[in-house]
Amino acid sequence: MGMVTFSALAEPNRLHMVEMLLHGPMTVGDIANQLEIRQPQASKHLKVLLDAGLVEVKAEANRRNYQLRMEPFQEMDSWLSSYRRIWSERYDNLDAYLEKLQAYPNQDPTNRMKEE
């Protein structure tokens, strides 16, 4: 996973396209209609997603259906999991601190911090 993934998803229309494709494959025309943009604009955005490896295109007769490639999203989830652990620890520490505050509501928190 690289900056290309984040760069591709940073544009709101492309992020919305990815969200739409979660429900299944779509044609350029369907995507353009739902986003209320012109088809050439939708095609340009889909090209960026394709180049980033986030979508793939399959030709069926005269239609081109775009669908998500799950591998890049699984890589992103794996990368984010380390940050989830960090935030989970921080939230646990915050919970413990808030519990201490609630246990002694009339005590000055700055004094309590010095004691700990």
* pTM across the whole model: 0.71
For residue 99, the model assigns a pLDDT of 86
- 3-68: CATH, from 3.40.50.920, 3.40.50.10860, 1.10.10.10, 1.10.3720.10: 1.10.10.10
What are 100's two structure tokens?
């201490």
Calculate ∠ Cα 86-1-23, nearest 5°. Answer: 95
The CA distance from 11 to 104, in Å, is 48
Distance CA 86, CA 43 (A): 39
Q: What per-residue confidence (pLDDT) applies to 56?
A: 97
Q: Collapsing DSSP states into helix, strand and coil, what is residue 69?
A: coil
Alpha-carbon distance 72 to 57, whole Å? 15
pLDDT recorded at residue 114: 53
CATH 1.10.10.10 placement within the chain: 3-68
Q: Mean pLDDT per segment of 10 residues, for the chain of length 116 residues?
A: 86 97 96 96 97 94 93 89 82 84 74 55
pLDDT digits (tens, 9 = 90+) for 46-63: 999 999 999 999 998 888
* Residue 27 DSSP class: E
Q: Could you tell me which of 46, 39, 48, 52 has the C-alpha nearest to residue 67? A: 46
The token pair that represents 55 in the structure block: 């979508």
